Amino acid sequence: MSSHKLCMIPGPIEFHDDVLQAMATPATSHVAPNFIPILGESIEMLRQVLFTSGQPFIISGSGTLGWDMTACNLIEAGEDVLVCNSGYFGDRFGECLETYGAKVTHHRVPVGEAPNPSAVAELLKTKKFKAITITHVDTSTGVLADIKAVAEAVKKVSPDTLVVVDGVCSVGSEEIRMDAWGVDVVLTASQKALGAPPGLSIMAVSERAIGVFKARKTPIPNYYANWTRWLPIMNAYEARKPSYFATPAVQNVFALHTSLKQIVAQGLEARFAAHKEASKKVKQACADLGLKLVPTGLGHAANGMTAVYYPEGVVATDLLPKMAAHGVVAAGGLHVDIAPKYFRLGHMGISTDPARPDVDATINALKESLAEIKAAKN
Minimum distance, C-beta of residue 83 to ligand PLP, in the bound complex (Å): 12
> Does residue 169 bind ligand PLP (CB under 6 A)?
yes
Give the residue among 89, 87, 275 at the shortest CA–CA distance from 172.
275
> Does residue 248 bind ligand PLP (CB under 6 A)?
no
CA distance readout (Å), 41 to 18, 116, 234, 260, 336: 17, 37, 11, 9, 40
Does residue 12 have a cis bond before it (omega within 30 degrees)?
A: yes
> Does residue 62 bind ligand PLP (CB under 6 A)?
yes
Q: What is d(CA 80, CA 161) in angstroms, rounded to the nearest whole number?
A: 10
> Does residue 75 bind ligand PLP (CB under 6 A)?
no
Q: What is the phi/psi pair of residue 138, to 5°?
A: -80, 110
> Does residue 135 bind ligand PLP (CB under 6 A)?
yes
Q: Of all residues in the chain, what percent are helix, strand and coil, respectively (each to 5)?
A: 45, 15, 40
Under the phi-then-psi rule, with left for phi > 0, alpha for psi from -120 to 50, and beta for the rest, what region is 11? left
> Does residue 364 bind ligand PLP (CB under 6 A)?
no
Minimum distance, C-beta of residue 165 to ligand PLP, in the bound complex (Å): 10
Angle at which helix 36-50 crosses helix 227-238, to 10 degrees, equals 100
CB-based closest residue to ligand PLP: 63
94 within 8 A of 120, measured Cβ to Cβ: no
Per CB under 6 A, the list member of 14, 68, 166, 318 interacting with ligand PLP is 166
40 vs 172, beta carbon nearer ligand PLP: 172
Per CB under 6 A, the list member of 45, 189, 234, 260 interacting with ligand PLP is 189
- The region of 123-131, 148-156, 166-174, 355-363 touching ligand PLP under the rule CB under 6 A is 166-174
Q: What is d(CA 168, CA 305) in angstroms, rounded to the nearest whole number?
A: 12
**How remote is the C-alpha of 246 from its chain's centroid?**
24
Per CB under 6 A, the list member of 168, 203, 286, 328 interacting with ligand PLP is 168
84 vs 323, beta carbon nearer ligand PLP: 84
> Does residue 200 bind ligand PLP (CB under 6 A)?
no
Q: What is d(CA 375, CA 378) in angstroms, rounded to the nearest whole number?
A: 5
Minimum distance, C-beta of residue 346 to ligand PLP, in the bound complex (Å): 10
272 within 8 A of 303, measured Cβ to Cβ: yes
> Does residue 203 bind ligand PLP (CB under 6 A)?
no
Minimum distance, C-beta of residue 168 to ligand PLP, in the bound complex (Å): 3
Per CB under 6 A, the list member of 139, 251, 279, 369 interacting with ligand PLP is 139
- The region of 28-36, 62-70, 71-79, 347-355 touching ligand PLP under the rule CB under 6 A is 62-70
For ligand PLP (CB under 6 A), the number of binding residues is 11
Give the residue among 207, 198, 204, 127 at the shortest CA–CA distance from 166.
204
> Does residue 195 bind ligand PLP (CB under 6 A)?
no
Instruction: Tell me the H-state helices in the chain.
Output: 17-23, 36-50, 63-74, 88-99, 117-124, 147-157, 178-181, 207-214, 227-238, 250-266, 268-288, 316-325, 358-377
Residue 356 known to bind ligand? no
Minimum distance, C-beta of residue 187 to ligand PLP, in the bound complex (Å): 8
> Does residue 243 bind ligand PLP (CB under 6 A)?
no
Angle at which helix 36-50 crosses helix 250-266, to 10 degrees, equals 40
Cite the annotated binding site for substrate by residue number. 344
The residues that touch ligand PLP, with contacts defined as CB under 6 A, are 11, 62-64, 89, 135, 139, 166, 168-169, 189
Cite the annotated binding site by residue number. 344
